[in-house]
Amino acid sequence: MGGLVLDEAQFVKNHQSKAYQCARKLPAVFKLAITGTPLENNLMEFWALTSIVAPGLFSSPKRFAEYYQKPVEKNGDKAQLDKLRRRVRPLMMRRTKEQVIHDLPPKQEQILEVVLNPRHQKVYQTHLQRERQKILGLIDDVNKNRFTIFQSLTLLRQLSLDPSLIDPSLSGVRSSKLDVLFEQLEDLVAEGHRALIFSQFTGFLGKVRERLVEENIEFCYLDGSTRNRTDVVNEFKNGAAPVFLISLKAGGFGLNLTEADYVFLLDPWWNPASEAQAVDRTHRIGQARNVMVYRLVAKDTIEEKVMALKARKSRLFADVMEGDALSGGALTAEDLAGLFTD
């Protein structure tokens, strides 16, 4: 094989996955990895990509973890970080959108703080106290209890959106986040704008869909179970529906949707790359209008703490790619404890 070009190369970031093994073993004179997110959660993802395109650079994942990952992520070792940058700089070419697309219209980002209505807040706090007592006793052994911990995290994140997602008998409790979203949609639809609405939870997208039907607002819908993906995308691009509901996993990459000029991210996640890729579905070459991005964050809930963790992830990316403050890394026991404590 003359050469191997990996587009969206973040899909081989896990060095234990079959996709990575195939890319690593394919014989080729040269290998090129193209991605907007060479680093999403931790430095071992970066090692995976370099081991494919430059297999002799860092020969052992174990040695890389001991020599670079742990000192940089755990201890903020600037000397090791500088050494890592020097070694990978000759192999990388980085271009930001601002460098290559000089006429791209501005993108404005805003956090919409959602104050839970009294009934919604009461349900959330009741479950928070129960989950907090359960999880804080399991934090010391994150690996052993990872499934239980993340199960509680997911429950609290869903409660921040709509209580009926975890208990259908709570359907009478209004979703504060849905109310805020539709206040925004009412104005922008009336003014002729079009919006992409992302969530990680298809159950919550279903709630949005039900409300759109009630409000007689036309929409398109895409998630991982959508069979006719291309048809749905073309329907939005060529039609008049002002709203496109998209699950973050199914539509966070590979789509060009410059017909929209508004983006709503309904639930924050601590992986900033996923959100950035979602926003880039419309803020890209071909966009002629200013793009407005709204992140809906429920006040006094786990979502505020997820936003803080996401900021740390962003700084880790900046550390390796640019060289600024030292922070970040995979979720630690301390990080997880912080999500459940005041």
Find where tokens 């900033």 sit. Answer: 272
d(CA 336, CA 306): 10
Gap between the terminal Cα atoms of the chain: 56
Asked if the structure places residue 100 within a domain, the reply is no
The b-or-e profile of 184-216 (16+ CB within 10 A means b, else e) is: bbeebbeeebbbbbbbbbbebbbbbbebbeeee
- Nearest-5° Cα angle at 179, 176 to 180: 90
Beta bridge partners, 262, equal 195, 292
CATH number at residue 90: 3.40.50.10810
Asked if the structure places residue 101 within a domain, the reply is no
Q: What is the DSSP string of 201-246?
A: -HHHHHHHHHHHHHTT--EEEE-TT-S-HHHHHHHHHHS--SEEEE
Give the CA distances from residue 142 to residues 60, 90, 152, 237, 269, in Å, rounded to whole numbers and listed in that order.
25, 38, 13, 45, 19
d(CA 155, CA 316): 27
CA-based R_g, the chain, Å: 21
* Nearest Cα to Cα of residue 233 among 241, 263, 23, 54: 241
Asked if the structure places residue 74 within a domain, the reply is yes
Q: What is the pLDDT along the chain (342 residues), one digit of tens a residue?
A: 678 888 888 888 888 889 888 888 888 888 888 887 777 677 888 888 888 888 878 878 888 888 888 888 777 778 888 888 888 787 777 776 666 566 678 889 999 999 999 999 999 999 999 988 888 777 777 777 878 888 888 999 999 999 999 999 999 999 999 999 999 999 999 999 999 999 999 999 999 999 999 999 999 999 988 888 899 999 999 999 999 999 988 876 668 888 999 999 999 876 677 777 888 888 877 787 889 999 999 999 999 888 877 776 665 555 555 543 333 345 566 667 667 766
Find where tokens 């006094």 sit. Answer: 300
Q: Are residues 181 and 276 in the same domain?
A: yes
Domain count, the chain: 2
Q: Are residues 178 and 60 in the same domain?
A: no
- Nearest-5° Cα angle at 94, 89 to 66: 45
Asked if the structure places residue 296 within a domain, the reply is yes
Token pair recorded at residue 204: 């919550």
CATH number at residue 273: 3.40.50.300
pLDDT value at residue 80: 84
pLDDT value at residue 340: 72
Asked if the structure places residue 102 within a domain, the reply is no
Asked if the structure places residue 134 within a domain, the reply is yes
The b-or-e profile of 304-338 (16+ CB within 10 A means b, else e) is: bbbbebbebbbbbbbbbbeeeebbbbbbeeebbbe
Residues, the chain, total? 342
In terms of residue numbers, what domain contains 264?
Answer: 107-340
Q: Are residues 89 and 159 in the same domain?
A: no
Token pair recorded at residue 1: 């094989």
Q: Which of 94, 122, 143 is a domain's end point?
A: 94
Asked if the structure places residue 127 within a domain, the reply is yes
Token pair recorded at residue 5: 């070009």
Using DSSP's 3-state secondary structure scheme, residue 12 falls into helix
Q: Are residues 255 and 296 in the same domain?
A: yes
Indicate left, alpha or beta for 48 from its phi (over 0: left) and psi (-120 to 50: alpha).
alpha
Asked if the structure places residue 216 within a domain, the reply is yes
Q: Are residues 138 and 228 in the same domain?
A: yes
Q: Which of 94, 121, 154 is a domain's end point?
A: 94
